[in-house]
Structures are given as C-alpha cells and as structure tokens.
Amino acid sequence: MAGPISFLAHKHTGFPEGVPFVAGMHDVDAGAIGSGGVRAGQLVVLAGTWSINEVISDTVNVSTDWLARSFVRKGMWLNMAVSPASSSNLEWFVNTLCRADVDAARRAGTDPYAFIDHEIAQVKPDAGAVTFFPYLYGNPLGQDASAGFAGIRAWHERGDLLRGIYDGIAFNHRQHVDGLLAGFDVDQVLVVGGVTRSGIWPQLFADAINREITIADVSEGGALGTAMVAAVGAGAFADLDEAASVMGSPTRTVAPNPDGVSVLEERYQAYRSLQADQLAWWKAQAIG
C-alpha cells in the first residue's frame, strides 16, 4: 500500500480523500498472481498476444536467456523469457482465412472458434506433420525472422495447418521454458491465456514441455491478480498467500501423455533443426 488518497490528490483526481491507494504493477506480475503464481518455484506460462514465461524466485539468477526484475513481494524476483510469438498468430490465421466460418457460427449462436478443435481432431496421424513458425509479430531469435509453414503436401487440409499452428506456438513457449527450467528449481507449472479454452491445446502444452500443468478457471487473470494485490494493500488480507487462498479460482491439472510426449519431442527437434537451417535465409531477407 502506498498510502491513502491525500486532499491534494483528491482535488486533482476526484478520488475520495482517505481511500487506500495501492501502487500499480506490470501486467506480467498481475497475470502470474491471478493464475495462482505467488511463491518461489512456480513457473507461469502466459499464452496470449505474447509468449510470456516466468519463474518466481527468492534468489537472483541472471542470464541472457531471461529478464530478472523485482516481484511485487519484497525480496522476490520475476524471471521472464518472452517473445511476441504466441496465440496472436492463431488469431491472425482465423481472422484472415477463416472469417466465413466465424461469421456463420456467430449467426447460428454457437462458439465461433469451435471449428478449430474439431478440424484438428480430424487430422490423420499418417498425413505428415506441418511445421509452423509463429513469428508474425516477432520471435525469440534476435533477428528479423518471419512466420511460415513448412512440410505442406497436397493431401493436407486446413486442420493440418491449424495443428501446425498449435504445435508451433507450444514449441515457441518450450524454447523459453527450457532455459528457465535449467536455471531454476520449479515444482509447479501454471498455464493461463487463450490456449486454456481449447479442448486440445492444453494437452499439447503439457506434452511439449513434458510437465504436468495447472490451469486456473479464470478468464481475466490480470484483473484478478490486480484485485488480489489491492486487497492486500487495503488490509483485507495479510499477504498474497492468504489473498490467493480466498480469491483464487478453481484449478485443474493436465498431465503429459507418454505417447504425446514422444510425438511432440520428435516434432520439436524437427522444428529446432529447421529453425537453425532458416537462420541464414531469414538474415538475408531481413527488412531494413
């Protein structure tokens, strides 16, 4: 808590004098807290516009693979490996190439995005995997890499492309997560964001990183995290642990499936190999 609203602040803002004022925070802190990430040893995967992957720690561990910044709790750190390469890529694909399906579903009063999981579920295992680099808006490679599909054949259908997008976004998160797992002791992985609303994607995330994941039943984790911090600052709770125990959402867990882990590991290694082969081409094609 920063303190109560002063008379001068009241005159400038209109907020009532004496109302408790709690200092703000970055959305990455709020998202972690809203998903249940409040203590050291938790890794939070925020899969939204950006690929945000962060470990809460009580010791400083600096690396070029992540950013270290102070957490909202004194003496604790938020270690973030990030890139603008997550589910916004799926949003672009759907808005650009699937608009008729979305519009038809909305007119029918059904889930406009249900077709995605349905089409992915129809993908034939022997069709050959389509690889997708989710770099429409940026990437974690330190150069101007572009997005793209690879491995497309005449027999592939739209569902194969959508599955490639699901995999590619999970692989981009894994590329960040692997570094964090090597640098910190992690006992829980929390996943939040649009991917959790899919019936298929959470299992792919668990299989891709080969860890059990915990998903909070909350649609706006950042807003909930902000409310938790405000409640602590206003004195409603003694600390974030107490706030999380009372205000936190129900959770479910998704365990990695051994067969899925094997498939995703093979695909991930192919993804990284193709990524390495592409670096020279991306550099040559860089804009500016």
Domains of the chain listed by start with CATH number: 39-216+251-285 (3.30.420.40)
Strand 42-47 versus strand 20-21 pairing type: unpaired
Contacts of residue 147, Cβ cutoff 8 Å, sequence gap at least 6: 89, 132, 133, 134, 135, 136
Cα separation, 191 vs 87, whole angstroms: 13
Average pLDDT, the chain: 93
Residue 190 to residue 195: CA distance in whole angstroms = 12
Residue 287, pLDDT > 90, answer: no
CA distance 192 to 214: 9
Burial grade of 73 (CB within 10 A; 0-12, 13-18, 19 or more): buried
Q: Which residue's entry shows tokens 């070029």?
A: 64
> What residues are paired with 4 via a beta bridge?
20
pLDDT computed for residue 204 by the predictor: 97
Percent of the chain with pLDDT over 70: 99
Model confidence at 23, pLDDT cuts 50, 70, 90, reads: confident
Average pLDDT over residues 262-276: 97
Q: Which residues pair with 78 in a beta bridge?
A: 56, 69
> What tens digit of pLDDT does each residue of 217-264 get?
887 778 888 888 888 888 888 888 898 889 888 889 999 999 999 999
Whether 117 contacts 199, CB under 8 Å: yes
Name the token pair of 87.
């589910």
CA distance 88 to 46: 12
Whether 1 shows a pLDDT value over 60: the answer reads no
